[in-house]
A = this chain, B = another copy of it.
Amino acid sequence: MNGKINVTVWNEYRHELQHETCRKAYPQGIHVAVGEALLEDGAFDVNYAWLDKDAEHGLSQELLDKTDVLFWWGHMAHGEVKDEIVDRVQKRVQEGMGLVVLHSGHKSKIFMRMLGTTCNLKWREVGEKERIWNIEPAHPIAAGLPEHFELPHTEMYGERFDIPTPKDVVFITWYEGGEVFRSGVTFERGYGRIFYFAPGHETFPIFYDKNIRKVLVNAAKWAAPRIVREIPCPCVKPLEEIKTKLEE
């Protein structure tokens, strides 16, 4: 309506309510930190939804129908997301909605559903340093970012990351503890674009980092629908005259 991109930020929103350290890092929840990064840019309208918001985890068909890009952060309660809501989100992504999956969302139902793999990886939580290398500086998601940037304290997510070969590997991470990770990767499914971004642990203030926020903004713009359309399976008439048609 107003020319803005409609983003819905979905957060599991359990850690922040249950754990003091998470609440300190994200007093209003991770979703609000992500949403504020987007609002700051000015190109977006932002809605919030979370697991326990209502019986549909806040993801009504009506909200999804007007959502251009859905952000997803989940961790401890992936299994509680109802399959029918995952179906709904998947269909909407296939029909053109963008999907940005953050950090521990790698094991969310929706992400595994879109990719078909386990999305397993190695992990470690000791607050080590992470350096993110910008492998595709010409990619829209890397716009305006330096050739590398650092997070002082992060959870390690290490290879092998069990994903299909990405469309683009935008970022590769170096970890102080000795691992590497394809930390920013893109996929396309149906008419929808998908971006997975690894940083974003619930106890580190990563979503306040200016480079991380730049990635969130870029990703939301990049993932905005190019078309939104149902995907039919029609029986069609021949366009050319057919000579070999069987007589029955």
Q: Which residues from chain A sit less than 8 Å from chain B, CB to CB?
A: 90, 94, 96, 107, 113-118, 120-129, 131, 133-140, 143, 147-148, 152-153, 156, 158-160, 162, 164-165, 167-169, 172-180, 182, 187-192, 225-227, 229, 231-240, 242-246
> In chain B, what residue has the closest Cβ to A233?
B120
- Distance of A160 from chain B, by nearest CB (Å): 6
Give the chain B neighbours of A138 by CB distance below 8 A: 96, 188, 191-192, 225-227
> In chain B, what residue has the closest Cβ to A120?
B233
Query: Chain copies in the assembly?
Result: 4
- Distance of A229 from chain B, by nearest CB (Å): 7
| B94 A178 Cβ-Cβ under 8 A | no
Give the chain B neighbours of A246 by CB distance below 8 A: 126-127, 153
In addition to A128-B238, A133-B160, 10 A-B residue pairs with Cβ atoms within 8 Å of each other are A94-B117, A114-B116, A117-B189, A120-B233, A153-B246, A159-B172, A164-B189, A165-B167, A165-B168, A174-B175
Give the chain B neighbours of A121 by CB distance below 8 A: 233
Residue in contact with A123 in the complex, picked from B96, B135, B190, B235, CB distance below 8 Å: B235
Give the chain B neighbours of A178 by CB distance below 8 A: 131, 174, 238-240
Decide: A126 near B245, CB < 8 A? Known: A113-B116, A187-B164, A229-B137.
yes
> In chain B, what residue has the closest Cβ to A91?
B118
Give the chain B neighbours of A148 by CB distance below 8 A: 239
| A176 B242 Cβ-Cβ under 8 A | yes
> In chain B, what residue has the closest Cβ to A161?
B135
| B169 A137 Cβ-Cβ under 8 A | no
| B233 A123 Cβ-Cβ under 8 A | yes
